[in-house]
Structure 1
């Protein structure tokens, strides 16, 4: 049993690449939690894809024992969180389970957009925040400027920020002391009925569902019968333990502690993140305030390249959604692509990660359709429909107006690239809300339509600012606009996967760009192929892909011209017949490339 006053629960928040996972590695190493021979970089990032991309996707937790300078032994529970906006959902859950945060800021880069987004979540969760300036070993490090920036932009006192190099280990001891002395101990009542927060859950092939919990009040012991308050399901607890990062089984978890339990739960669906766990008998009266469920913002279709793999894809998607509560899917069929799934994601990076995991962990080759957002279609009879896939657009004669989702985007950018960023936002139908300065960097706030951002806004932003801009967004609601559905016809057949919703003023330019791109991407066939972009019944752009031809007149040298003519006419008739019955093969790469908008 651990004394409440000797527990510290904290998370590390920062922008992407500012050194959260490396700092977590050093804290684990400094306290001897993991022996040096077992130590590796990004220790808490367990997935291959996390290690390969160098990013954190799932929030991970570890329990550290630390003996402070005053001789007291403390238990530190650390949650390492992701920095990407697509995984902000993971951050918000972790925040609810701890009392304090280390705010890590790169002392060469300064405050970035995600630093702001994540620190605001920590402030909302009422955290004590300790600023840490990382990467002081780099020659470009400027701690005074960055400390001033933290005070100006975020409004936190950074005069006693800790100077750290997570790579070399400088300042790690000071960080541990600050955690013990500056972060508050958790509150809780050991004798009250059990009240525990379900922070995360994932599936393990041997143990079933593993549930990560934070105990608020009461004690959880092996053999207890627990009840999930949102579903009223009852389970017997089989084992209880903590992560040091490897699992270690213990007898009980008391108030303020973070650990895991297994209770022969078969599906992760039965464990709702943010739920309250209590005892079956003498449980607590009121549940804890839960987390907001994650709202998917980007939708796309996933289809197996080989239709025979559909069942494998179904199983793989079910297994993935076990571990990822923010990923949703439903079945759909497409004339061109057969059976597949319509899936919802928190953003494009989330989509890429899920797609990579499906291809890598389950060996399924996928076709991904154009990512799209959810539109609200207001019908003439007053009904409001949600439109997930542009191919399902109802007949326009019954539609009154269409509303699209809007976001509030915060972009931090060095002064010299400001003009390019403003132009990019204007081109994407943005409305400027605010422009302020933090030192030599501008902070621009724009109201943008989400469907203009979903494709390659982030890539374009990085290229016009040479990688110096940082970007974060939040949903602000729906607004009416002049939107139309644009179809791409290849050989006069509509291609579902390339249907997109565009603004009426943009339809022609966007259509022309797409058909020109497809002309380069589709391989030539034995017959000529028209590629058209159409809005309603009107073709707004067209390109023709010429046929590959065999020289049928090669063996006619000299002689009568009519012989050549006859052979050419015969070839022409054959091509015409081919075009009627020929199927055009569109390579997978063409779908993805055609949808990326280059200006």
Structure 2
């Protein structure tokens, strides 16, 4: 049993690709967690997607031993989509390492997570990484940390995780600067559920931080928010190999298993207590995770529907924040309406379905959750409903107002791209809140704060931001609530038949531009038929854009050479009637590629 004064719990805060996972690797190596032979690059990022993209998706913990101290490292996701999970991971620690790339400087995501860490009253140790790079400017970055974040960086540790410079200094700084945990060993058990995942052999593995009391094998535990009771059958920690322990005591971080079959039962932030001697109150800060972005997932081959359903159930075993329900579309057949925490989460789930389960998918245009206020009718009272799918829009005559979610976005960018970014935000109905300059000399960058409607961001805002700034801008956001907007449902009609998969909710001011773009694209993508096909974008009964695909013609007048012109005209009139009749009964087949291409580019910036 470790003395509580010798325990240090810390997490690592960093922007994507600033060397967080590599630093974690070096700390594990330096403390002898793994031998040289067992080591691999980015030990804690065990998913292929995590390694390829340089991001952390699931929180991981490692227990390290350094000069008689027990160090518990919490490797947290850095992306805004996982902000709630990050907040719980930070609540389980007493301090944090702030890792900043000495060539890139402070970025937007770093800032968001640092503020979350400061709110938890953490001791923050700045680490300036990648000092071996030719473009490194540690002094400039120190100044930037002091100016932007307001932390004293005079004693910042200079390190290079890649080459191993300064790793021991980082470990010494953790022991010296981060305070030990506080807690009462004799009080009833109180532990925080930090994260959980599904293991095919052990069931659900739960990461916990013990606040008071201790956790032992064979103990009956109760989840205070979920209200369920379980029997602990295994207690241990990761070094990063799984190691079983007799108990976890006050201040320690480790894992437990209790034969739980579904991750949905173990909610991040829940309080675990002793079923026989429960704690008086649950830990603060718990909240239900709500999906923010919704979209439809359909198999390109209808025969793969069962396979898609099984794959979604398997994915949900590991990711309780992802939700789905069945839906049907006249154009795309059977599929699922899925809810995600944000755009990165959507991309990750989609990529995992394609890779791990070998599925070929069509994704409908992402939409956000709208709140619709309905007036009362003869049959129903006035009410407010949540709308996830544009196809389910209620009767426009009953709609009093529609509210959409807004976000506050912080964008960091080199000065030369500022004009293009301001125009992009302006085009997306943004309201500028702030514009300041941070850093000095080569490190000087503009920091812009904008309020934007989330539905303007979910399409391709991030891609466009990266392309106009050549990848140099960094972007971070948080939701700031709902606001009323002049929103309408835009339907796309092909041959006067509405195509439900292409309908979207858009602002009245940008509807015409968006409708025209969609019609033009569909004209290129839908093959010609033997009859004329009109493609229209409509709001209610009003057509706002139209394109026509001309008919394929058969040369019926080939046999009428010479002679009277009326013979030709008669044949052409006959053909015209036939084509009109054909258009009445003919159905337009829209190839899958046309859907994929039209949906992929949901917006013409």
TM range (shorter): over 0.9
In the alignment, structure 1 residue 581 sits paired with structure 2 residue 586: yes
- Residues 314-353 of structure 1 aligned to structure 2 (within 5 Å): 314-353=309-348
State the Cα distance separating 1:577 from its structure 2 match.
4.7
| Inter-partner Cα distance in structure 2 for 1:350 and 1:560 | 69
The equivalent residue for 1:533 is 537
- Residues 16 and 54 of structure 2 are in contact (CA less than 8 Å); yes or no, is this contact kept in structure 1? no
* CA shift digits 1:349-385 (9 cap, x unpaired): 1111111112222233322111111111112234212
State the Cα distance separating 1:515 from its structure 2 match.
0.8
- Residues 296 and 336 of structure 2 are in contact (CA less than 8 Å); yes or no, is this contact kept in structure 1? yes
The equivalent residue for 1:281 is 276
Structure 1, 582-591 or 40-49: larger mean CA deviation: 582-591
* 1:362–1:131 distance in 2 versus 1, CA, 3 Å: same
* 1:261–1:541 distance in 2 versus 1, CA, 3 Å: same
| Inter-partner Cα distance in structure 2 for 1:357 and 1:553 | 56
* 1:592–1:238 distance in 2 versus 1, CA, 3 Å: farther
Cα RMSD (Å): 2.1
Aligned to 1:152, the other structure's residue is in SS state helix
The equivalent residue for 1:199 is 194
* 1:141–1:569 distance in 2 versus 1, CA, 3 Å: same
* 1:576–1:311 distance in 2 versus 1, CA, 3 Å: same
* 1:553–1:35 distance in 2 versus 1, CA, 3 Å: farther
| Inter-partner Cα distance in structure 2 for 1:554 and 1:241 | 85
| Inter-partner Cα distance in structure 2 for 1:233 and 1:272 | 11
In the alignment, structure 1 residue 518 sits paired with structure 2 residue 513: no
State the Cα distance separating 1:564 from its structure 2 match.
6.3
In the alignment, structure 1 residue 455 sits paired with structure 2 residue 459: yes
The equivalent residue for 2:77 is 82
In the alignment, structure 1 residue 487 sits paired with structure 2 residue 487: no
* 1:507–1:232 distance in 2 versus 1, CA, 3 Å: closer
In the alignment, structure 1 residue 408 sits paired with structure 2 residue 408: yes
The equivalent residue for 2:204 is 209
The equivalent residue for 2:154 is 159
State the Cα distance separating 1:510 from its structure 2 match.
1.3
* CA shift digits 1:510-546 (9 cap, x unpaired): 1111111122222334443221111111111111123
- Residues 514 and 604 of structure 2 are in contact (CA less than 8 Å); yes or no, is this contact kept in structure 1? no
| Inter-partner Cα distance in structure 2 for 1:96 and 1:407 | 24
State the Cα distance separating 1:438 from its structure 2 match.
0.7
- Residues 98 and 125 of structure 2 are in contact (CA less than 8 Å); yes or no, is this contact kept in structure 1? yes
State the Cα distance separating 1:113 from its structure 2 match.
0.8
| Inter-partner Cα distance in structure 1 for 2:450 and 2:384 | 27
Q: 1:596 aligns with which of 575, 588, 602?
A: 602
Aligned to 2:590, the other structure's residue is in SS state coil
The equivalent residue for 1:8 is 8
Aligned to 2:49, the other structure's residue is in SS state helix
* 1:526–1:168 distance in 2 versus 1, CA, 3 Å: farther
The equivalent residue for 2:167 is 172
| Inter-partner Cα distance in structure 2 for 1:9 and 1:560 | 96
* CA shift digits 1:312-335 (9 cap, x unpaired): 333322332232232222232322
State the Cα distance separating 1:408 from its structure 2 match.
0.8
Structure 1, 380-389 or 152-161: larger mean CA deviation: 380-389
Q: 2:260 aligns with which of 265, 270, 278?
A: 265
* CA shift digits 1:159-190 (9 cap, x unpaired): 11111111111111111111111111111222
| Inter-partner Cα distance in structure 2 for 1:525 and 1:138 | 60
| Inter-partner Cα distance in structure 2 for 1:544 and 1:14 | 52
* 1:588–1:249 distance in 2 versus 1, CA, 3 Å: farther
State the Cα distance separating 1:497 from its structure 2 match.
1.3
Aligned to 1:38, the other structure's residue is in SS state coil
* CA shift digits 1:542-596 (9 cap, x unpaired): 1112344455666877788777667766665554454322232232463454443
State the Cα distance separating 1:88 from its structure 2 match.
2.4
The equivalent residue for 1:427 is 427
State the Cα distance separating 1:129 from its structure 2 match.
0.4
State the Cα distance separating 1:89 from its structure 2 match.
3.0
- Residues 406 and 476 of structure 1 are in contact (CA less than 8 Å); yes or no, is this contact kept in structure 2? yes
* CA shift digits 1:231-275 (9 cap, x unpaired): 332211111111122212221111111111111112112212111
- Residues 432 and 446 of structure 1 are in contact (CA less than 8 Å); yes or no, is this contact kept in structure 2? yes
- Residues 221-370 of structure 1 aligned to structure 2 (within 5 Å): 221-370=216-365
* 1:528–1:36 distance in 2 versus 1, CA, 3 Å: farther
Gaps of 5+ in 1: 68-72
| Inter-partner Cα distance in structure 1 for 2:384 and 2:205 | 40
In the alignment, structure 1 residue 122 sits paired with structure 2 residue 117: yes
The equivalent residue for 2:392 is 392
The equivalent residue for 2:450 is 446
The equivalent residue for 1:70 is none
The equivalent residue for 1:42 is 42
| Inter-partner Cα distance in structure 1 for 2:544 and 2:13 | 48
In the alignment, structure 1 residue 501 sits paired with structure 2 residue 496: no
* CA shift digits 1:20-74 (9 cap, x unpaired): 111111111222211111211111111122123232111221111223xxxxx12
* 1:394–1:547 distance in 2 versus 1, CA, 3 Å: same
- Residues 263 and 319 of structure 2 are in contact (CA less than 8 Å); yes or no, is this contact kept in structure 1? no
| Inter-partner Cα distance in structure 2 for 1:290 and 1:402 | 30
Aligned to 1:175, the other structure's residue is in SS state helix
The equivalent residue for 2:379 is none
In the alignment, structure 1 residue 182 sits paired with structure 2 residue 177: yes
The equivalent residue for 1:109 is 104
State the Cα distance separating 1:485 from its structure 2 match.
0.9
* 1:231–1:504 distance in 2 versus 1, CA, 3 Å: closer
- Residues 295 and 364 of structure 2 are in contact (CA less than 8 Å); yes or no, is this contact kept in structure 1? yes
In the alignment, structure 1 residue 65 sits paired with structure 2 residue 72: no
* 1:508–1:218 distance in 2 versus 1, CA, 3 Å: same
Structure 1, 576-585 or 112-121: larger mean CA deviation: 576-585
- Residues 370 and 592 of structure 1 are in contact (CA less than 8 Å); yes or no, is this contact kept in structure 2? no
TM-score (norm 1): 0.94
* 1:324–1:397 distance in 2 versus 1, CA, 3 Å: same
TM-score (norm 2): 0.93
Aligned to 2:367, the other structure's residue is in SS state coil
Aligned to 1:240, the other structure's residue is in SS state strand
